[in-house]
Structure 1
Amino acid sequence: MNFQKRLLRAEPNFQILAKLWQVNWIYVVLICLLAAVGYGALYSAGGGTSRPFAEPQTIRFCFGLVMMLGVALMSPTVLVRLAWPLYGVSLLLLVAVLRMGHVGKGAERWLMIGGLQVQPSELAKIALVLVLASWFHKISYRDMGNPLYLFPPALMVLIPVGLVLKEPNLGTAVIIATVGASLFFAAGMRLWQIALLAAPLPFLTKIAYNHLHDYQKARVITFLHPENDPLGAGYNIIQSKIALGSGGMWGQGYLHGTQGQLNFLPEKQTDFIFTMIAEEWGYVGGAAVIGLLLVMILGGMLIAIRSRNQFGRLLGLGISMNFFLYCAVNLSMVMGAIPVGGVPLPLISYGGSAMLMVMFGFGLLLSAWVHRNSTFGETTDKDT
């Protein structure tokens, strides 16, 4: 500990080394282990070759790893300064999607920037966590009882939710709203306020269903009765359940899953990647992956709890909740517990925007750990 303190008081280069020393390297190893699982799954999805899925994913992960460690070294002061600009950029990109977005699966969700597909809703999740953590750390618990202090952050949540719904992307909009609600609760929102807001939800749900697009209603109906259209709308979930069941206890063996290798399993490199893992490695392999995800979620919550400042606590909670919802929605979807919604499994499913934004989020989480002992009110520019 004395060695670390001496480094922090030394030259800037040594300060960087001191902060790198304080990074939670156990958590970094867990991240790399999850990415290795993803590489193996994508290698299998590519038919036993590193292209077209595993190799590009690995390149993205290596870039994301460097970015994650860079973000981990940023002090809370710097992150608070970045919160509003990043939030503003995410909103501009969401508006741009509605104007010139790439259409896929019934929605406009991507922008082509420099030849790369960018999904602004992924950035919006992380930017919302940052801006809410920045807002709530400035107000006291007593102020949380005053609705006037809750109206601005409520708008911060509703604006991106509305823009994402307009794409339309119901699954991501629900995740954004849930992450925002969790931060309100963690910041000290009163129970009576929560009950007041939750009271109209059953009625709003019915209204929302009536305004869903036809393909979204079809997903709900297919979720309830997939057997009604086994070769059409119900095909994906039926094949997913077959693959899950055919894996048995120990699986059919790596690269030997019949549903995946014979291309009966749809979107096996993205939405249904866990199904392919379970088919090849069985219940044991699937449970091991879920266990790894659970350890990472609990580890993120522990980082949030260990932070001595409100900003770090809310930042850690928001990133952990976002990661949890990614996992919970994807796993529930492929098991038929909820309608199919196109949410990837973090660091395992093939994708660019989701991968980089998840790594950016982990960088914020690790920053909360590195600066866990800081009293945020006393943080200065020298902390950077």
Structure 2
Amino acid sequence: MNIPDRTTIVNFFRRYVTVLDGPLALIVFLIVSTGLITLYSAGIDFPGRIEDQLRNILLGFVIMWIAASVPQPVLMRLAVPLYTIGIALLLAVAMFGLIRKGARRWLNVGIIIQPSEMMKIAVPMMLAWFFQRREGQLGWREFLGAAVLLGIPVAFIMKQPDLGTALLVTASGFYVIFLAGLSWKAIAALVATVAASLPLAWSMLHDYQRQRVMMLIDPSSDPLGKGFHIIQSMIAIGSGGVTGKGWLQGTQAYLHFVPERTTDFIFAVYAEEFGLIGNIVLLILYLILIGRGMTITMQASSLFSRLLAGAITMMFFTYAFVNMGMVSGILPVVGVPLPFMSYGGTAMVTLGFGTGILMNIQRHRKLVQT
């Protein structure tokens, strides 16, 4: 029997494991573990849900490892093809995509995919590449060009319609533009323009989107209809109290009052079972995740990596903030998953890819220093 020598084991570890950033991997592991514990409780009436999520996590880990392992120049070269393929797939969705629940968001390419999800990463990659190519000569033309690159996929996604994903893609792209040096005067002008266009934007919203906004203002106006989601999630969060009802003891989930309890509203299940203390612990975990991402951003070795790392980190923040906000009743329901906790394969792959990019940027910085 051949026993591998110590040098072989050490070389294997260095080659295949040290590409991962330890602190980031640990915090993601803790959040994913928390999500699995909560999903087991939330999905007890959904046979196979845990097994499917474990498969999703494994796939997300593989994508994360690949993204962390490739040389950074290769990552940069992927920006334009990934963005172009994404636009082509969005165009294909608009022409002959699958329609479900009145929305045309999916495409059958042998498997069912949702191309808008990949744009959450493809857009900031493309914009970071765009600004990297024009480093040292950024003017209003460059920022206008970046706005066009952002506006094209957002327009396709809004047409589907998918307001939640459109907002996330817009946010991820805006973070890159902001970090690239967009002036505060331009930001003020942008805010004023958005405020002035709100009446027009309101008229362009679909009826169900307007109803979601109105339910945010007064969910009790339709407690058994459009306001049901918000009311029941707030009841679940409030009933958890300080210490929670205990794992597997959440009545709102078990009595099927919490809607979409394994996906968008998993935070309501978690809050009911683990209470205020559990919520604080989860918030701390997300803050550490964002803090680690910002540390990687500040230490990045190039403009491309700095812009991309900052956008991905802030995307994680936006995911968590919007999800917790809509479940708590302070934001409209827009269908945004809780990162690394909500059930879903596409979101886990996207998050894994983003995490792998952060690890790639950190690894490249260390290689440059040595």
Task: Give the TM-score category using the shorter length.
Answer: over 0.9
Q: Tell me which residue corresponds to 2:338.
A: 345
Q: Tell me which residue corresponds to 1:174.
A: 167
1:35 correspondence with 2:39: no
Q: TM-score, normalised by structure 1?
A: 0.89
| Secondary structure of the corresponding residue to residue 47 of structure 1 | coil
Aligned pair partner of 1:110 in 106, 118, 121: 106
1:282 correspondence with 2:275: yes
Structure 1 CA distance, aligned partners of 2:325 and 2:127? 28
Amino acid in the other structure paired with 2:36: Y
Indicate if the aligned counterparts of 1:19 and 1:370 stay in contact, CA closer than 8 A. no
Structure 1 CA distance, aligned partners of 2:13 and 2:125? 23
1:294 correspondence with 2:287: yes
Indicate if the aligned counterparts of 2:19 and 2:68 stay in contact, CA closer than 8 A. no
How many angstroms does 1:375 deviate by? Answer: 6.2
- Identify which range, 39-48 or 322-331, moves more after superposition: 39-48
Change (3 A) 1:46 1:241: same
Structure 1 CA distance, aligned partners of 2:219 and 2:186? 39
The aligned runs of 1:108-257 (5 Å cut-off) are 108-115=104-111, 117-141=112-136, 143-144=137-138, 146-257=139-250
How many angstroms does 1:14 deviate by? Answer: 5.9
How many angstroms does 1:97 deviate by? Answer: 2.1
| Secondary structure of the corresponding residue to residue 308 of structure 1 | coil
- Residues 130-188 of structure 1 show CA distances to partners (whole Å, capped at 9, x for unaligned) of 111111112234x22x2222232211100011011101111221221122122112112
Q: Tell me which residue corresponds to 1:73.
A: 69
- Identify which range, 129-138 or 191-200, moves more after superposition: 191-200
Indicate if the aligned counterparts of 2:19 and 2:65 stay in contact, CA closer than 8 A. no
Indicate if the aligned counterparts of 1:76 and 1:311 stay in contact, CA closer than 8 A. no
Q: TM-score, normalised by structure 2?
A: 0.92
Amino acid in the other structure paired with 1:262: L
- Residues 186-211 of structure 1 show CA distances to partners (whole Å, capped at 9, x for unaligned) of 11222233333332111112211111
How many angstroms does 1:114 deviate by? Answer: 2.8
Change (3 A) 1:25 1:375: closer
How many angstroms does 1:18 deviate by? Answer: 4.9
- Residues 197-255 of structure 1 show CA distances to partners (whole Å, capped at 9, x for unaligned) of 33211111221111100111111111111101111111111000110111111111111
Structure 1 CA distance, aligned partners of 2:233 and 2:282? 17
Structure 2 CA distance, aligned partners of 1:333 and 1:105? 21
Aligned-residue CA RMSD (Å): 2.0
Structure 1 CA distance, aligned partners of 2:301 and 2:43? 46
Structure 2 CA distance, aligned partners of 1:265 and 1:348? 16
- Residues 248-280 of structure 1 show CA distances to partners (whole Å, capped at 9, x for unaligned) of 111111111000011111100111000000101
| Secondary structure of the corresponding residue to residue 133 of structure 2 | coil
Amino acid in the other structure paired with 1:130: M
| Secondary structure of the corresponding residue to residue 197 of structure 2 | helix
Structure 2 CA distance, aligned partners of 1:375 and 1:156? 31
1:89 correspondence with 2:101: no
Q: Tell me which residue corresponds to 1:25.
A: 22
Structure 1 CA distance, aligned partners of 2:223 and 2:45? 29
How many angstroms does 1:111 deviate by? Answer: 2.4
Amino acid in the other structure paired with 1:73: S
Indicate if the aligned counterparts of 1:48 and 1:255 stay in contact, CA closer than 8 A. no
Structure 2 unaligned residues grouped into runs of 5+: 1-9
Structure 1 CA distance, aligned partners of 2:80 and 2:187? 26
How many angstroms does 1:281 deviate by? Answer: 0.9
- Identify which range, 210-219 or 94-103, moves more after superposition: 94-103
Change (3 A) 1:15 1:79: farther
How many angstroms does 1:310 deviate by? Answer: 1.0
- Identify which range, 281-290 or 121-130, moves more after superposition: 281-290
Q: Tell me which residue corresponds to 1:326.
A: 319
Structure 2 CA distance, aligned partners of 1:104 and 1:45? 24
Instruction: State how many pairs are aligned.
Output: 360
How many angstroms does 1:73 deviate by? Answer: 1.4
Structure 1 unaligned residues grouped into runs of 5+: 1-12, 377-384
How many angstroms does 1:109 deviate by? Answer: 2.1
Structure 1 CA distance, aligned partners of 2:17 and 2:303? 23
| Secondary structure of the corresponding residue to residue 108 of structure 1 | strand
| Secondary structure of the corresponding residue to residue 23 of structure 1 | coil
Change (3 A) 1:105 1:334: farther
Structure 2 CA distance, aligned partners of 1:309 and 1:375? 10
How many angstroms does 1:35 deviate by? Answer: 1.1
Indicate if the aligned counterparts of 2:43 and 2:261 stay in contact, CA closer than 8 A. no
Indicate if the aligned counterparts of 1:71 and 1:364 stay in contact, CA closer than 8 A. yes
